[in-house]
Amino acid sequence: MAGIQSQSALVAENLCKNFGALAATQNVNLRVEGKGVHALIGPNGAGKTTLVNLLSGALPPSSGRVLLSGQDVSRVDMPGRVARGLSRTYQITSIYPEWTVWRNLALSVQGRSGTSMRFWQPVTGERALYRQAAEIAEEVGLTSRLNAPASDLSHGERKQLDVALALASNPKFLLMDEPMAGLGHEESVRMVDLIRRIAGIRAVLLIEHDMDAVFSLANEVSVLVYGQIIASGTPEAIKNDPEVQRAYLGDDHAA
């Protein structure tokens, strides 16, 4: 890992996180870069969400480093990492339910378009903000729901909104924590399509239980078990890795 850092990579270096006696993350080395989907799979309780929290800055690591485009950001908070091009979605959708979809998105666009320490001009007068928000809604397929309160959205639409909020900062790296969880078949198909488009121009770290989705999207797959990465490679290599089959795919696929 001491070699030349790619100018555009999200790197975990010997990352560890302990909660008391529990080692939720153990010596994780991970590299997400360029374009496309890097999938992170693993059984329940493997520490996938903890890893996302470490990478996004929601949690400080116990040891090890997180590098963002060559810079050590281990002690940089979440907003600081967003400013450096990293964004995330949430397993349990995290939106503003009382607000309209449009207002949700305008807030997220506001974050990337100049300072928000502006106290006097009414925000609703900023046409550009709402226009860009509408563009993002179109990207994720929420145009017809712009004026609906977010609490009126279906589960699938909320997931779309959650992704849209993360996209608004125009990140180079996007961490997606189980975007397919709880979606129906049709919604899943739409989400896979959306992720493919997102990954066309940025690096996505995708955490997902839906193996069909994972293997149809990913260029690279890493397998996390008990906080450790036990294998990393192309989807084909992972499918055929005996250790992975034993630790993970065997049980889950049979079900």
> Which residues in this chain contact other proteins in the complex, by CB under 8 A?
56, 58, 77-80, 82-83, 87-88, 90, 94-100, 102-103, 106-108, 110-112, 115-124, 126, 130, 146-147, 149, 165-166, 168-169
Q: Which two tokens stand for residue 171?
A: 């990140």
Least distance (Å) between residue 11 CB and other proteins: 20
Q: Output the six-digit token pair for 151.
A: 């609490």
- Closer to other proteins by Cβ: residue 135 or 193: 135
Q: How far is the CB of 15 from other proteins (least distance, A)?
A: 19
Beta carbon nearer to other proteins, 40 or 165: 165
In the complex, what is the shortest distance from the CB of residue 31 to other proteins, in angstroms, rounded to a whole number?
A: 22
Other CB atoms within a 10 A radius of the CB of residue 133 amount to 23
Q: Find the shortest distance in angstroms from Cβ 92 to other proteins.
A: 10
3-state SS record for 130-178 = HHHHHHHHHHHCCHHHCCCEHHHCCHHHHHHHHHHHHHCCCCCEEEEEC
For β-strands 228-233 and 218-225, DSSP reports them as antiparallel
Residue 120 or 242 with smaller CB distance to other proteins: 120
Q: What are the Cα distances from residue 144, in Å, to 102, 140, 153, 166?
A: 11, 11, 11, 20
Nearer CB in complex with other proteins: 26/108: 108
Select 107 or 249, whichever has its Cβ closest to other proteins: 107
Q: Which residues are registered as beta bridge partners of 38?
A: 205, 220
Phi, psi dihedral angles at 162 (to 5 degrees): -60, -45
7 vs 115, beta carbon nearer other proteins: 115
For the bound state, the minimum distance from the C-beta of residue 213 to other proteins, rounded and expressed in Å, comes to: 23
Asked if 101 and 146 count as a contact pair (C-beta separation under 8 A), the reply is: yes
Task: Convert 161-184 to b/e letters by CB count within 10 Å (16 or more is b).
Answer: bbbbbbbbbebbbbbbbbbbbebe
Q: In whole angstroms, how close is the CB of 125 to other proteins at the nearest point?
A: 9
41, 221 Cβ separation under 8 angstroms:
yes
